[in-house]
Amino acid sequence: MQALTNRVKEVSRKPMSLWERMYLPAVFKGMVITFSHIFKKTPTINYPEKKRPFSPVFRGLQILNRDEEGRENCTACGLCAVACPAEAITMEAAERQPGEEHLYREEKYAARYEINMLRCIFCGLCEDACPKDAIYLSETFTPADYQRKQFIYNKKDLLIPHPKEEPEAYKKALGNRAGNKTAN
Amino acid sequence: MADEIKAAPPATFKVTIDNITIDVKPGTTILNAARQIGGDVAPPAMCYYSKLEGSGGKCRTCLVEVAAGSTADPRPMPKLVASCRTTVMDGMVVKNITSDRVLDARNGVVEFLLINHPLDCPICDQAGECNLQDLSYNHGEEGTRYQFARRTFVKEDIGPYIQLHMTRCILCYRCVFVAEQITNKRVHGVVDRGDHAAISTYISRAVDNDFSGNMIDVCPVGALTDKTFRFKNRVWFTKPVDAHRNCQTPGCCGKATLWMRGDEVFRVTTRKDPWGEVQSFDGKPGWICNTCRFDKKDAKDWVVEGLTTISRHSVIGTNKYETLQVPAETVKEVMKGQAPKLLMNIHNVSEVNNPNIHLSEIDRPAHADDFSESATHTPGQGESDQFGRTN
């Protein structure tokens, strides 16, 4: 039969010679390759002790942003939810009452905001759609879990720490990319 | 000149708009002639409202170029004319979207309309069905050249039903005409002049006429919005449904569009025609009374006719409602009575769309305490969901 490509290799069906039937030379040959790797550089990274640097365009877990005074940016306009191709985002809006000005930036805010991480495909369209700088995809993975219910992230899970009350946690949550931006 | 014999005017005038010729009755405006052709040929209108006498001529978005005045006098008109106020002549040639002058002028008009507009669409309830939003999307610039502070107003409360946002107003006067022509007593109007001109009740009086809610529907922007729907949901996440009820209020047509979420009626509006105006029934505009609009927020009050047809260009179409029929659950039937195994009931985990919070029953915007723990009760273990399944 004519071969379709020139990469075809004929399989030899000849009976093995005595030298081949002894197997030991082949075993030694294999062990030489194995032990030679001890002296080579290891490509393995010991996660989580060591972490690989993220790509500058890495898209991870979402965070809900606050402004410099710690007020929530999100105004529940629903553009992230309508842009979401996986329909992972849901929200409910409420009106800001007098006395809540230090909590929310605009007169309307998201009383409830949820992202279903089982559905999220981390495409970043929510970040693109947001007119209020309120949602960003961070440099964190979604932690693994055994239960589905742990993947419904509400506002408590998503909000960035308060920049005035928890400045260190806030700085950590900003990540390297945001830190680099302010340094430049 | 006495012996001049005037020929009787023809029964219909031939008018050519964007190279499309149509016969219209004498006395028709260019805008209405263009609307008879339909589609992109019809100029946008922010202040003109065919059901309101005297409206039009203020916003200048409907400017068109008249390339030939008439068969008798084919000279072009020197300036662009407002098509809502200019009647057609026999043999008139009009250019709308085929004229660069018109498009350029319209861009300028939109820039002027947006000078003082706060552009708070993320907060505004009109977003998604706003004429100014569509207009600025089609004609507006991305940035603004205006360098001064936008005008602001002291917030005025005009009653329990209508929310007035004066900063968003473009002073089209439509709501004033509604109060003048539909209700028997007008208590609001445009006060002050120039940059200070504002829709106001002057001495903080509530607009409480039985048909005052129609002001919300004629408003082309988000200046007048429904207080009972305020912040409840974005319009493109609701399900518009045509429905009617036997309304006893004289003058109320009883035919409305319900904007629903599940089985809850979040908002009631008049039915709109393709031009964003209230639909006519038996030759009369279908205004609805405040009882229908604000007090009948129960689906049982209405006879549902079917889904409202939404223009495929509208963002409201992203709600993905194509039919009112909910597909029947067949798993039980196929599995010989065995209910499907539910891996997770979303209502046990999710706080959004809690089946025990009825936003339609709150006649004001929701506040933080409406979503608090005491107001909610999430169905716990052992309770059955809508399919009769337990988990």
B74/B89 same-domain check: yes
What are the chain A neighbours of B237 within 8 Å (beta carbons)? 78, 81-82
pLDDT for the residue B2: 58
**Cα torsion through A75, A78, A80, A82, rounded to 10:** -170
Q: Is residue A12 part of a domain?
A: no
What are B's interface residues with A at a Cβ cutoff of 8 A? 120-123, 127, 230-234, 236-237, 315, 318, 343-344, 346, 348-353, 359, 364-368, 370-371
Confidence of residue B385 (pLDDT cuts 50, 70, 90): very low
Q: Is residue A127 part of a domain?
A: yes
Cβ contact (<8 Å) for A79 and B352? no
Query: Which one of A95, A118, A133, A158 would you mutate to disrupt binding with B, by most B Cβ within 10 Å of its Cβ?
Result: A95
B20/B97 same-domain check: yes
Residue A48: is the preceding peptide bond cis (ω within 30°)?
yes
Cβ contact (<8 Å) for B368 and A100? yes
Q: Is residue A115 part of a domain?
A: yes
We report the CATH number of the domain holding residue A146 as 3.30.70.3270
Structure tokens belonging to residue B50: 């065919």
Cβ-contact B65, B80 below 8 angstroms? yes
Cβ contact (<8 Å) for A75 and B122? yes
Q: Is residue A141 part of a domain?
A: yes
Domain of A118 in residue numbering reads as 62-183
pLDDT for the residue B229: 94
- Chain-centroid distance, C-alpha B145: 28
Nearest-CA distance A171 → chain B (Å) = 28
Confidence of residue B35 (pLDDT cuts 50, 70, 90): very high
User: pTM for the complete prediction?
Assistant: 0.84
Q: Is residue B298 part of a domain?
A: yes
Q: Is residue A87 part of a domain?
A: yes
* CB-neighbour burial class of residue A76 (10 A; exposed 0-12, middle 13-18, buried 19+): buried
> Which of B169, B198, B226 is the C-terminal boundary of a domain?
B226
B43/B69 same-domain check: yes
What are the chain A neighbours of B233 within 8 Å (beta carbons)? 78, 93
- Chain-centroid distance, C-alpha B174: 12
Rounded to an integer, the average pLDDT of B49-55 is 92
Higher pLDDT, A70 or B376: A70
Q: Is residue A155 part of a domain?
A: yes
CA angle B207, B53, B269 (to 5 degrees): 50
Confidence of residue B295 (pLDDT cuts 50, 70, 90): very high
How many pairs of residues across A and B have Cβ atoms under 8 Å apart?
80
What are the chain A neighbours of B164 within 8 Å (beta carbons)? none
Give the model confidence (pLDDT) of B346-365 as tens digits: 888 998 988 888 888 888 89
Give the model confidence (pLDDT) of A106-123 as tens digits: 999 999 999 999 999 999
For CA atoms B202, B208, B210, B213, the dihedral sign is positive
Cβ contact (<8 Å) for A131 and B232? no
pLDDT for the residue A20: 86
> Which of B183, B200, B226 is the C-terminal boundary of a domain?
B226
Whether pLDDT at A125 is above 50 = yes
Cβ contact (<8 Å) for A108 and B123? yes
Instruction: Using alpha carbons, list the distances in angstroms from residue B137 to A161, B133, B134.
Output: 36, 6, 5
pLDDT for the residue B267: 94
pLDDT for the residue B318: 85
CA angle A144, A150, A156 (to 5 degrees): 110
Q: Is residue B163 part of a domain?
A: yes
Domain of B299 in residue numbering reads as 235-319
pLDDT for the residue A96: 93
Domain tally, chain B: 4
Instruction: Using alpha carbons, list the distances in angstroms from residue B322 to A86, A88, B131, B169, B307.
Output: 19, 21, 24, 34, 8
Nearest-CA distance B320 → chain A (Å) = 11
Give the model confidence (pLDDT) of B74-119 as tens digits: 999 999 999 999 999 999 999 999 999 999 999 999 999 999 999 8
CA–CA dist B232, A78 (Å, integer): 12
Domain tally, chain A: 1
- Which of B127, B343, B371 shows the shortest C-beta gap to A111? B371
Query: Taking all residues of chain B, what is their mean pLDDT, rounded to a whole number?
Result: 87
Whether pLDDT at B386 is above 80 = no
B18/B71 same-domain check: yes
Report residue A133: phi and psi, to 5°. Answer: 60, 30
Q: Is residue A22 part of a domain?
A: no
E runs forming strands in B245-282: 255-261, 264-269, 280-281
Cβ contact (<8 Å) for A78 and B237? yes
**Which range has the worst mean pLDDT, B196-205, B274-283, B323-332?**
B196-205
pLDDT for the residue B382: 40
Q: Is residue B383 part of a domain?
A: no
ipTM of the complex: 0.82
B26/B50 same-domain check: yes
> Which of B168, B194, B226 is the C-terminal boundary of a domain?
B226
Q: Is residue A92 part of a domain?
A: yes
CA–CA dist B37, B17 (Å, integer): 9
pLDDT for the residue A183: 39
Higher pLDDT, B34 or B153: B34
- Chain-centroid distance, C-alpha B361: 23
pLDDT for the residue A33: 96
